[in-house]
């Protein structure tokens, strides 16, 4: 058995390598990361194929906005690729429960991940895993170092310092204090609420209490972030209501804004676009000396289509994704997407290194709305987008927003009833 | 004297109104195309300025052409569009002829049945269509797209063409029958050439949504070898969302072929439409 | 006539003429559509599909979580339609009337230029107008500034009060070529004798339009109205390309198409629900069917009298 396999492998890789390429197994990878197409084609795929002759990879991304609809349609019809890039939590859990994602708990590579890393792609009882954790993103603020130097500003550590800095930039007038718009909605929730929120609800402690029903969205810890967001509106550029996400990216990278509330995923794109030096700071705490909390969100996993014709090849690939080799390639090819494996990885990009260093200083948590709480109708994540926008625009008070979200959540989530 | 003056005034007013609306119609296209030839800073500093020696840049086009095989995408779009139009026109005209020419039980019902498709967006049938394409092995082939677009285009084609076929004179057809021509030859040799203008109308109205469709290529034929131009350029909009040079270049590349096709077909469209498509 | 001689014989050619169209249309369009609409009578419990009768419809109209969104989308959709009727069709008729003037020069050029937006994809239209109206790029504010009306500028797409109207006008901009072309055709097909007779009686061109041409093109206007209605209540792409599936700000641009898409296919963390999605699709189908029937049996039959 092993012998014949070995001979087969030898045959495939040496004797008829060129001619027999038609017999290679080709794995098709579904993904929403179309930004990463070049990195897969130029770095990740060649590295894997060099080590695993006989398996070819084909990376076929679609635009993020359509990914879920396209993937679900293809899985239902049976035309999806062998390897599925997994959104965290419920979207992938639903695919697993529908029998589309294979159980990969026993995969050797899974040993390299902590339970927290695996939580994004486990069943509710944490017994079964269906995707290999690939990357997380860390929230924070990127700033224009030149602008800060020009105005004599330092990285703010507390909320008071943060708003003092914003006031000073606004007074000076040569920079827009903060580059963010509300047109696309998600930034307000993702880069706003879930960026600054963990400092108030104390990261995992608050998040788990909310899940258990011990805290409510009307509690001070959950309303206070909205109170801070309500103050942001004054520091955003003119017409921020119609400003889109790409608008904000361009405003910041063209050097017209001083601070950009964001996540680490922007780093590689911004490195190519900005011609000034960038720095980063984590969400300022309420009082000097408070423990800081950061959103270190499990964002990308990768799993196996249960209906694949090539389960062995797919497992070989997934094991490789769990290896430290992949982690190193991936982390350095895409600074800002941080590998979740326990294997130590050195990052060459200084800005990415800055973000990842916060893991040592602060407590990590994930976005509050992702696990379980966006399972019902109304959908808490979508509602949070809506509420964050309304609060920033001053159309809803922080208290009203909290009450509305709590009412929606309680309407279907038993522990909150 | 005064009549001539009012006439001149009327002519001027007419040209004024038309020029104004033409500007409104072409302005956005103009903005996209000129900015696709400028460097990034110039796009933002003076979006309305023409590219000059200082701001001219082809960097966007370089990025786009490096990443995708736009000639292949263009070829795929052409095959799908032309193939679908061929089947829409052939099958549509045949069915329209049957409905317009013969009296048979269920004629009206059949007409209504064929019109039903105008009222529901075909997109909601996506999963069932995809399942069928998978079962028949047509997924990731251009045939899948051609079939869907043909089905989608038939209701309107039958509707418009049957109106036309009713106007073809009975004398001509009956003369053909007396000469012993079969019903098939009457259709292909006598009737079809007479409704050519109407066929052109149907072709233009169907061509636009087929060429521009994003949804079905994304679901049914996302593979690189069968990607259509619209899908190919949409990938860039997602991919280089901050790289506006590339986005604007991709958009310009998507606009130009369809404008060229339109210019080629527009003469037929006008002729078709003005010979009384919708009275 | 000739068919009567062959009465007893089965007329195979009718079958041959109809078969290809009916087969393709039934297999690729009608079957998948009804297979999907059927889902509105089912729901999913523990991965099993269960028949629930009309319960999904009861949810859609009875539970505020659903019904609020539905009525909001329906109301917005009506506003979207009203703007098309009040802006797109009158502009289309006016342009066609000017273009159909027999001695107008450059008519072919104007006609082609005005039709160009219609041939562009939604992706391009959405992106182009977002750029022009963007507060950042400054094309719209800059142009208003040049004519001294800077104060009129607002970030329209981001304001709940203006976003839907703005997008409706963008859609009007895109599709005005269609009514223009169809009315143009109708105007050209008015027999010259009628117009000449009017001229002899001294009717000037403007009143000739109101008194003679307009009544004659009423049937075309009727067809355009119903096509506009069907297209508007099936619309989805422009809103999706410009504002995304959540149809912001605060659902103020949500129309039935975006609501159905979001529910059917899911969005972000919201999982797709084909059952509620097809319930909404069935409701849309019913609305369009009612509209079309009102047109066919109420309006068109009355209009026939004016037809020449």
Tens-digit pLDDT profile for residues B32-76: 899 899 988 888 878 888 888 888 988 888 878 877 788 898 899
Q: Pick the last residue of a domain from A306, A329, A353.
A: A353
Query: For chain A, which ranges sit under pLDDT 50?
Result: 1-21
Helix ranges (DSSP H) in A233-266 = 245-253
Chain A contact set for B219 (CB, 8 A): 70, 73-74
Q: Rounded to 5, what percent of chain A is helix, strand, coil?
A: 50, 15, 30
Q: Within the 234-273 window of chain A, which residues sit less than 8 Å (CB to CB) from chain B?
A: 245-246, 249-250, 253-254, 269, 273
Examine residue A1 and state whether it is found in any structural domain, yes or no. no
Q: Cβ(A79)–Cβ(B134) under 8 Å?
A: yes
Domain boundaries, chain B: 2-57, 66-274
Chain A contact set for C267 (CB, 8 A): 68, 382
- Per the structure, the count of domains in chain A is 2
Q: State residue B273's pLDDT score.
A: 62
Nearest partner of C124 among A17, B237, A98, judged by Cα: B237
Residues 6+ apart with CB under 8 A from C57: C40, C279, C282, C283
Tens digits of residue pLDDT in A317-339: 999 999 888 998 998 888 889 99
Interchain proximity A63–B235, CB inside 8 Å? yes
Interchain proximity C125–B262, CB inside 8 Å? no
Q: Which of B27, B91, B262 sits opposite C119 (nearest CB)?
A: B262
Query: For residue A14, what are its two tokens?
Result: 């040496």
Chain A contact set for B237 (CB, 8 A): 63
Please check the confidence at residue C255 and state whether its pLDDT lies above 90: yes
How sure is the predictor about C123, in pLDDT bands with cuts at 50, 70 and 90? confident
Q: State residue A369's pLDDT score.
A: 92
| In a shared domain, residues A255 and A372 | yes
Chain A contact set for C266 (CB, 8 A): 68-69, 72, 91
| In a shared domain, residues A231 and A289 | yes
Q: Cβ(B114)–Cβ(B95) under 8 Å?
A: yes
Q: How far is C253 from chain B (nearest CA, A)?
A: 19
Q: State residue B44's pLDDT score.
A: 81
Q: Which of C1, C35, C260 sits opposite B128 (nearest CB)?
A: C35
Tell the burial category of B75 from Cβ atoms under 10 Å away from its Cβ (0-12, 13-18, 19+): middle
How sure is the predictor about C2, in pLDDT bands with cuts at 50, 70 and 90? very low
Rounded to an integer, what distance in angstroms lies between the CA atom of residue C34 and that of residue A112? 48
Examine residue A13 and state whether it is found in any structural domain, yes or no. no
Q: What does DSSP assign to residue C88? A: I
Interchain proximity B28–C29, CB inside 8 Å? no
Please check the confidence at residue B124 and state whether its pLDDT lies above 80: no
- Domains of chain C with CATH codes: 55-306 (1.10.3720.10)
Say what the alpha-carbon torsion angle B84, B89, B91, B95 is, to the nearest 10 degrees: 150
pTM of structure:
0.87
Strand A83-86, strand A293-304: pairing: antiparallel
Average pLDDT score, chain B: 83
| In a shared domain, residues A84 and A48 | yes
Query: How many beta-carbon pairs under 8 angstroms link A with B?
Result: 64
Q: How far is C44 from chain B (nearest CA, A)?
A: 16
Query: How many beta-carbon pairs under 8 angstroms link A with C?
Result: 108
Q: State residue B275's pLDDT score.
A: 59
Rounded to an integer, what distance in angstroms lies between the CA atom of residue A71 and that of residue C156? 34
Average pLDDT over residues C34-51: 87
Say what the alpha-carbon torsion angle B49, B54, B58, B63 is, to the nearest 10 degrees: -100
Give the Å distances, CA to CA, from C154 to A176, A243, C146: 18, 12, 16
With a threshold of 0.90, tell me whether the complex ipTM lies above it: no
Helices and strands of chain B, counted as H and E runs: 14, 0
Domain of A250, in residue numbers: 138-296+364-416
Task: Name the closest residue on chain C to residue A396, using Cα atoms.
Answer: C250
Please check the confidence at residue C308 and state whether its pLDDT lies above 50: no
Q: Which of C108-117, C160-169, C199-208 has the lowest mean pLDDT?
A: C199-208
Chain B contact set for C286 (CB, 8 A): none
Dihedral sign, CA of B235, B237, B243, B246? positive
CATH code of A325's domain: 3.40.190.10
Q: Cβ(B76)–Cβ(B144) under 8 Å?
A: no
Chain A contact set for B134 (CB, 8 A): 77-79
Examine residue A192 and state whether it is found in any structural domain, yes or no. yes
Interchain proximity B130–A79, CB inside 8 Å? yes
| In a shared domain, residues A80 and A162 | no
Examine residue A7 and state whether it is found in any structural domain, yes or no. no
Write out the residues of chain B at the interface with chain A, using a CB-CB cutoff of 8 A: 40-41, 44, 67, 126-127, 130-131, 133-134, 139-140, 218-219, 222-224, 234-235, 237-239, 241-244
| In a shared domain, residues A192 and A179 | yes
Rounded to an integer, what distance in angstroms lies between the CA atom of residue A248 and that of residue C134? 11
Q: Rounded to 5, what percent of chain C is helix, strand, coil?
A: 75, 5, 20
CA angle A96-A99-A103, nearest 5°?
60
| In a shared domain, residues A32 and A86 | yes
Task: Name the closest residue on chain A to residue C270, using Cα atoms.
Answer: A379
Q: Cβ(B140)–Cβ(A80) under 8 Å?
A: no
Q: Rounded to 5, what percent of chain B is helix, strand, coil?
A: 80, 0, 20
Task: Name the closest residue on chain B to residue A29, using Cα atoms.
Answer: B223
Q: Which of A244, A246, A250, A251 to mutate to test the interface with C (most CBs of C within 10 A)?
A: A244
| In a shared domain, residues A205 and A274 | yes
The proportion of chain B whose per-residue pLDDT surpasses 90, expressed as a percent, equals 24
Superfamily classification of domain B66-274: MetI-like (1.10.3720.10)
Rounded to an integer, what distance in angstroms lies between the CA atom of residue C286 and that of residue B212? 28
Q: Within the 57-76 window of chain A, which residues sit less than 8 Å (CB to CB) from chain B?
A: 60-66, 70, 73-74, 76
H/E stretch holding B233 reads helix B229-239
Dihedral sign, CA of A259, A264, A268, A269? negative
Give the Å distances, CA to CA, from A411 to A203, A379, C246: 25, 11, 21
Q: How far is A201 from chain B (nearest CA, A)?
A: 33
Q: State residue B278's pLDDT score.
A: 39
Residues 6+ apart with CB under 8 A from A112: A322, A323, A324, A341, A342, A343
Q: Cβ(A304)–Cβ(A314) under 8 Å?
A: yes
Strand A363-365, strand A293-304: pairing: parallel
Q: Which of C29, C172, C209, C258 to mutate to test the interface with B (most CBs of B within 10 A)?
A: C29
Query: For residue C68, what are its two tokens?
Result: 């609020």
Q: State residue B106's pLDDT score.
A: 87
Q: State residue C301's pLDDT score.
A: 65
Q: Which of A186, A374, A390 sits opposite C270 (nearest CB)?
A: A374
Q: Cβ(C134)–Cβ(A245) under 8 Å?
A: no
Q: What does DSSP assign to residue A56? A: E
Interchain proximity C124–B14, CB inside 8 Å? no
Tens digits of residue pLDDT in C93-104: 999 999 888 778
| In a shared domain, residues A39 and A182 | no
Q: Pick the last residue of a domain from A353, A380, A395.
A: A353
Inform me whether the C-beta atom of residue C49 falls under 8 Å from chain A C-beta atoms.
Answer: no
DSSP A273-326: H--S-EEEEPPPBSSTTPPPEEEEEEEEEEEEBTT-S-HHHHHHHHHHHTSHHH
Interchain proximity B238–A63, CB inside 8 Å? yes
Rounded to an integer, what distance in angstroms lies between the CA atom of residue C50 and that of residue C47? 9
How sure is the predictor about C303, in pLDDT bands with cuts at 50, 70 and 90? low
Tens digits of residue pLDDT in C223-241: 788 889 988 998 888 998 8
Q: State residue B239's pLDDT score.
A: 53
Rounded to an integer, what distance in angstroms lies between the CA atom of residue A88 and that of residue A300? 6
Chain A contact set for C261 (CB, 8 A): 69
Residues in chain A: 417
Q: Which of B127, B224, B243 sits opposite A77 (nearest CB)?
A: B127
Q: Which of A403-412, C22-31, C123-132 has the lowest mean pLDDT?
A: C123-132
Average pLDDT over residues C168-197: 85
Q: Within the 18-57 window of chain A, which residues sit less than 8 Å (CB to CB) from chain B?
A: 34-35, 37-38
Rounded to an integer, what distance in angstroms lies between the CA atom of residue A214 and that of residue A184? 32
Chain B contact set for C98 (CB, 8 A): 14, 17-18
| In a shared domain, residues A128 and A202 | no
Tens digits of residue pLDDT in A68-120: 888 988 888 888 999 999 999 988 998 999 899 999 999 998 988 988 889 89
Examine residue A16 and state whether it is found in any structural domain, yes or no. no
Longest dimension (CA), chain C: 80
Please check the confidence at residue C92 and state whether its pLDDT lies above 50: yes
Q: How far is C72 from chain B (nearest CA, A)?
A: 20
| In a shared domain, residues A203 and A86 | no
Query: Residue C268: which region, alpha, beta or left (left: phi > 0; alpha: psi -120 to 50)?
Result: left
| In a shared domain, residues A175 and A237 | yes
| In a shared domain, residues A197 and A268 | yes
Query: Residue C247: which region, alpha, beta or left (left: phi > 0; alpha: psi -120 to 50)?
Result: left
H/E stretch holding B60 reads helix B59-67
The beta strand positions in C231-277, using DSSP E, are 266-267, 270-271
Q: Cβ(A388)–Cβ(A229) under 8 Å?
A: yes
What number of other Cβ atoms are within 10 A of residue A321's Cβ? 24
């Amino acid at each position: 058995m092993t012998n014949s396999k070995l001979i087969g492998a030898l045959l495939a890789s040496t004797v008829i390598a060129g001619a027999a390429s038609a017999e290679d197994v080709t794995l098709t990878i579904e993904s929403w990361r179309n930004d990463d197409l070049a990195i897969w084609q130029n770095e990740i795929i060649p590295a894997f194929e060099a080590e695993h002759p006989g398996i070819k990879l084909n990376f076929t991304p679609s635009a993020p906005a359509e990914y879920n609809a396209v993937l679900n349609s293809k899985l239902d019809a049976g035309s999806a690729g062998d390897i599925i890039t997994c959104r965290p939590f419920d979207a992938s859990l639903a695919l697993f429960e529908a029998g589309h994602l294979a159980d990969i708990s026993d995969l050797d590579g899974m040993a390299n991940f902590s339970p927290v890393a695996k939580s994004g792609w486990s069943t509710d009882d944490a017994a079964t895993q269906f995707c290999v954790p690939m990357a997380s993103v860390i929230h924070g603020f990127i700033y224009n170092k030149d602008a800060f130097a020009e105005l004599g500003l330092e990285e703010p550590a507390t909320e008071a310092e943060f708003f003092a800095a914003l006031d000073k930039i606004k007074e000076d007038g040569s920079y827009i204090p903060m580059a963010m718009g509300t047109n696309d909605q998600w930034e307000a929730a993702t880069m706003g609420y879930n960026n600054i929120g963990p400092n108030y609800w104390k990261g995992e402690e608050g998040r788990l209490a909310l899940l258990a029903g011990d805290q409510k969205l009307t509690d001070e810890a959950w309303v206070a972030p909205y109170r801070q967001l309500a103050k942001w509106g004054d520091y955003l550029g003119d017409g921020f209501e119609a400003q889109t996400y790409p608008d904000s990216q361009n405003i910041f990278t063209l050097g017209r804004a001083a601070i950009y509330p964001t996540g680490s995923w922007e780093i590689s794109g911004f490195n190519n676009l900005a011609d000034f030096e960038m720095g980063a700071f984590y969400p300022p705490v309420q009082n000097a000396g408070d423990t800081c909390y950061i959103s270190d969100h499990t964002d990308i996993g990768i799993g196996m289509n249960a209906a694949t014709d090539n389960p062995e090849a797919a497992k070989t690939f997934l094991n490789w994704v769990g290896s430290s080799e992949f982690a190193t390639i991936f982390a350095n090819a895409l600074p800002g997407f941080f590998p979740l494996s326990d294997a130590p990885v050195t990052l060459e990009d200084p800005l990415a290194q800055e973000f990842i260093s916060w893991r040592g200083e602060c407590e990590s948590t994930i976005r509050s709305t992702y696990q379980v709480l966006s399972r019902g109708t109304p959908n808490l994540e979508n509602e949070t987008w809506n509420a964050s926008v309304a609060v920033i625009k001053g159309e809803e008070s922080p208290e009203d927003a909290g009450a509305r979200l709590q009412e929606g959540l309680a309407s279907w989530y038993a522990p909150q009833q | 004297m005064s009549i001539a003056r009012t006439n001149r005034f009327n002519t001027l007013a007419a040209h004024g109104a038309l020029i104004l609306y033409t500007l409104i119609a072409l302005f956005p296209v103009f903005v996209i195309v000129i900015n696709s030839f400028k460097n990034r800073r110039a796009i933002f500093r003076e979006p309305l300025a023409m590219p000059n020696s200082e701001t001219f840049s082809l960097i966007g086009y370089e990025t786009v052409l490096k990443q995708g095989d736009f000639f292949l995408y263009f070829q795929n779009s052409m095959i799908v569009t032309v193939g679908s139009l061929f089947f829409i026109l052939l099958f549509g005209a045949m069915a329209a002829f049957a409905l317009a020419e013969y009296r048979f039980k269920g004629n009206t019902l059949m007409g209504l049945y064929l019109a039903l498709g105008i009222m529901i967006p075909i997109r909601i049938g996506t999963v069932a269509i995809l399942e069928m394409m998978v079962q028949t092995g047509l997924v990731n082939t251009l045939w899948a797209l051609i079939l869907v677009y043909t089905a989608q285009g038939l209701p309107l084609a039958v509707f418009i063409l049957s109106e036309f076929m009713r106007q073809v004179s009975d004398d001509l057809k009956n003369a053909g029958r007396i000469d012993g021509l079969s019903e098939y030859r009457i259709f292909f040799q006598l009737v079809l050439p007479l409704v050519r203008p109407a066929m052109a109308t149907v072709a233009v109205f169907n061509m636009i949504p087929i060429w521009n469709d994003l949804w079905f290529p994304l679901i049914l034929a996302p593979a690189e070898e069968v990607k259509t131009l619209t899908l190919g350029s949409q990938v860039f909009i997602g991919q280089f969302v901050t790289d506006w040079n590339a986005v604007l270049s991709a958009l310009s590349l998507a606009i130009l072929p369809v404008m060229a096709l339109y210019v080629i077909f527009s003469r037929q469209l006008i002729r078709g439409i003005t010979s009384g498509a919708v009275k | 006539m000739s068919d009567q001689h062959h009465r007893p014989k089965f007329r195979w050619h009718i079958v041959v003429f109809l078969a290809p169209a009916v087969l393709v249309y039934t297999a690729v369009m009608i079957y998948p559509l009804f297979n999907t609409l059927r889902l509105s009578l089912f729901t999913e419990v523990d991965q099993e599909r269960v028949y629930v009768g009309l319960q999904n419809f009861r949810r859609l109209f009875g539970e505020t979580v659903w019904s609020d969104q539905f009525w909001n989308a329906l109301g917005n959709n009506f506003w979207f339609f009203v703007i098309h009727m009040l802006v797109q069709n009158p502009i289309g008729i006016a342009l066609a009337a000017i273009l159909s003037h027999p001695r107008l020069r450059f008519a072919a050029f104007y006609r082609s230029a005005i039709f160009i937006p219609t041939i562009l994809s939604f992706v391009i239209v959405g992106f182009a107008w977002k750029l022009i109206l963007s507060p950042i790029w400054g094309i719209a504010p800059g142009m208003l500034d040049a004519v001294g009306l800077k104060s009129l500028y607002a970030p329209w797409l981001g304001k709940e009060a203006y976003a839907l109207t703005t997008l409706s006008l963008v859609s009007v901009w895109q599709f005005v070529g269609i009514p223009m072309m169809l009315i143009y055709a109708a105007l050209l097909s008015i027999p010259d004798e009628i117009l000449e007779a009017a001229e002899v009686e001294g009717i000037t061109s403007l009143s000739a339009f109101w008194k003679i041409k307009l009544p004659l093109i009423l049937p075309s206007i009727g067809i355009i109205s119903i096509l506009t209605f069907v297209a508007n209540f099936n619309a989805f792409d422009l809103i999706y390309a410009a504002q995304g599936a959540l149809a912001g700000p605060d659902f103020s641009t949500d129309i039935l198409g975006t609501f159905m898409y979001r529910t059917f296919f899911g969005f972000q963390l919201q999982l797709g629900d084909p059952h509620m999605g097809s319930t909404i699709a069935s409701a849309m189908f019913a609305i369009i069917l009612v509209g079309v029937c009102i047109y066919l049996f109420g309006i068109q039959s009355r209009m026939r009298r004016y037809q020449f």
